[in-house]
Amino acid sequence: MNKARRKQIEGINGRIAAMLSLAEGIKADVEAVRDDEQDYLDNMPESLAVGDKGGQAELAIAALDQVIDDLESLIGNDFAALLAEAAQ
């Protein structure tokens, strides 16, 4: 790999690091919303919890959990190592 492409990879690596940092913050925000929704469901009267409102809260929690899982998967990738290997 030539010097110009290595320099490009260096820039990409920096951008990915910034994106991962942003993803970690987003994940924390989504977790806070999910936790609030879970508290809402947990404190809901049983008559509401087994009805439409409870079902909607459960669906929201499941969707937020999926977003969290997907962000964790993204954050867990070792992009830096792969880019270092490519720059060899």
Q: Is the pLDDT of residue 74 over 90?
A: yes
Amino acid at 22: L
Confidence (pLDDT) at 75:
97
pTM of the model as a whole: 0.87
Cβ-Cβ contacts under 8 Å for 80 (sequence gap 6 or more): 13, 16, 17
Kindly report the backbone phi and psi dihedral angles of residue 50, in degrees, each rounded to the nearest multiple of 5, phi listed first. -90, 0
Kindly report the backbone phi and psi dihedral angles of residue 77, in degrees, each rounded to the nearest multiple of 5, phi listed first. -70, 145
Residue 1's pLDDT band (cuts 50, 70, 90): confident
Amino acid at 54: G
Neighbours of 71 (CB within 10 A): 19
**pLDDT tens, 15-70?**
999 999 999 999 999 999 999 999 999 999 999 999 999 999 999 999 999 999 99
